[in-house]
Amino acid sequence: MRQRPGVQSSSVLLGPEGRRLLYEQQRNNAGESVAMTLGWHVGTGGGGYLFKEGGGAGFQGEMRLRPSLGMASVVIANSGAFSVKRFLERAERVWAA
C-alpha cells in the first residue's frame, strides 16, 4: 500500500494477520472467488476497491477503501435521487490524480 504523509499503515485493533484476513477475498465451496472479504464487498472498477454501502428512509451512503492508492472515502447523502456511486467514481478520479 502506498504510504501517504501522516497516515498510519498499522492498526491498533488488528495485527498484520488479522488485517490480511479482513481484506482477503473469499471463495465458495467450489473454490471460486466471491465478491466479498470477511469485512467488505469487492468492487472492480477503477483498479479495484473495497466498499460498504447502506441506506434507509431518505438517505444513502458508501465507504470505499482503495488500498493500492492509500485512499479511503465516505459519502453520505440525504437524497434518494443523489447517486453516491456515481459521485465517488467521479471524485476518486480527481483525488487519485
User: Domain residues of the chain, as ranges?
Assistant: 10-39, 40-97
Residue 5 clears pLDDT 90, i.e. is over it: no
Those residues with Cβ within 8 angstroms of residue 73's Cβ, 6 or more apart along the chain or in another chain: 63, 64, 66, 88, 91, 92, 95
Those residues with Cβ within 8 angstroms of residue 43's Cβ, 6 or more apart along the chain or in another chain: 35, 49, 50, 51, 64
Residue 43 clears pLDDT 80, i.e. is over it: yes
- Average pLDDT estimate for 44-68: 85
Q: Which residue has the cell 485512499?
A: 71
Those residues with Cβ within 8 angstroms of residue 95's Cβ, 6 or more apart along the chain or in another chain: 71, 73
- Per-residue confidence band for 1, with pLDDT thresholds at 50, 70 and 90: very low
- Per-residue confidence band for 12, with pLDDT thresholds at 50, 70 and 90: confident
Q: Dihedral of the CA atoms 54, 37, 18, 51 (nearest 10)?
A: -40
Predicted pLDDT at 6: 56
